[in-house]
């Protein structure tokens, strides 16, 4: 009997620290394999990071995602057990969500449903949280549906906000939470 690892495809738009963390975490096991890293940003550092870690890295444009089936066909060929959005800023089209129901997850840098929606990502979220003088924030792992940040929540992790927190310190706290929990949440979902 041949054993094949569970396959993950990661979508990312930027530096890709979460993608790097996930790839390195699963390189230590034979049970899970990151088969592709896909990015809508040709200059995204995540593409080079994926190459360096010997994972297929592909760039696509808006037409390949929304107007044609290019990205969908790449996904169908990869047949992933899970599609992971790790700092991916475009909305996932319905045609992909329909083919991979409850197989696409995202991490959001706040405790949803607060501070979610179109345009709410990265430092924009942290800035709004600080401006509203929240005492805690965190991260939300959720399934992706056709609306920004409205899919079923899988798991949330909280962190306290102190009066001396700045945009930089809060960004660091959130990134640390993501790095700690992202691979483990993926692992749990793949074990189901």
Taking only the tens place, the pLDDT of each residue in 140-153 is 999 999 998 999 99
Tell me which residue range forms the domain holding 147.
6-107+141-158+181-191
The stretch 88-109 carries a mean pLDDT of 96
Q: Which one, of 58, 55, 65, lies nearest residue 22 by Cα?
A: 55
pLDDT higher than 90, residue 37 = yes
118 located within any domain:
no
163 located within any domain:
no
Q: Look up 108 and say whether it is catalytic.
A: yes
| Predicted local distance difference test score (pLDDT) of residue 2 | 59
Express each pLDDT in 124-137 by its tens digit. 999 999 999 999 99
Count the alpha carbons within 13 Å of 113 in the hemisphere toward its beta carbon.
Answer: 4
121 located within any domain:
no
Catalytic annotation, pick one of 108, 126, 142, 181: 108
CATH of residue 90: 3.40.50.170
| Predicted local distance difference test score (pLDDT) of residue 192 | 77
| Predicted local distance difference test score (pLDDT) of residue 94 | 96
What is the count of structural domains for the chain?
Answer: 1
Mean pLDDT, the chain, as a whole number?
95
pLDDT higher than 60, residue 172 = yes
116 located within any domain:
no
18 located within any domain:
yes
Q: What is the DSSP letter of 110?
A: S
125 located within any domain:
no
What is the full DSSP assignment across 18-49? HHHHHHHHHHT-SSEEEEEEEES-TT-HHHHH
Please give the model's pTM, rounded to 2 decimal places. Answer: 0.95
| Predicted local distance difference test score (pLDDT) of residue 83 | 98
176 located within any domain:
no
74 located within any domain:
yes
Q: Which one, of 73, 53, 57, lies nearest residue 65 by Cα?
A: 73
Do 133 and 144 contact (CB within 8 A), yes or no?
no
């Amino acid at each position: 009997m041949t054993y094949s690892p569970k396959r993950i495809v990661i979508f990312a738009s930027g530096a890709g620290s979460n993608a790097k963390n996930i790839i390195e975490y699963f390189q230590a096991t034979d049970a899970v394999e990151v088969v592709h890293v896909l990015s809508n940003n040709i200059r995204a550092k995540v593409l080079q990071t994926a190459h360096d870690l010997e994972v297929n890295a592909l760039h696509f444009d808006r037409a390949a995602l929304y107007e044609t089936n290019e990205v969908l066909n790449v996904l169908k060929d990869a047949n992933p057990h899970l599609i992971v959005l790790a700092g991916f800023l475009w909305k996932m089209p319905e045609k992909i969500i329909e083919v991979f129901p409850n197989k696409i997850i995202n991490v959001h840098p706040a405790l949803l449903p607060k501070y979610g929606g179109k345009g709410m990502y990265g430092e924009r979220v942290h800035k709004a949280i600080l401006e509203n003088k929240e005492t805690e924030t965190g991260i939300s792992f959720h399934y992706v549906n056709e609306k920004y940040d409205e899919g079923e929540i899988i798991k949330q992790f909280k962190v306290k906000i102190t009066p001396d927190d700045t945009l930089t310190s809060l960004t660091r706290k959130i990134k640390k939470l993501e790095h700690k929990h992202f691979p483990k949440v993926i692992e749990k979902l793949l074990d189901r």
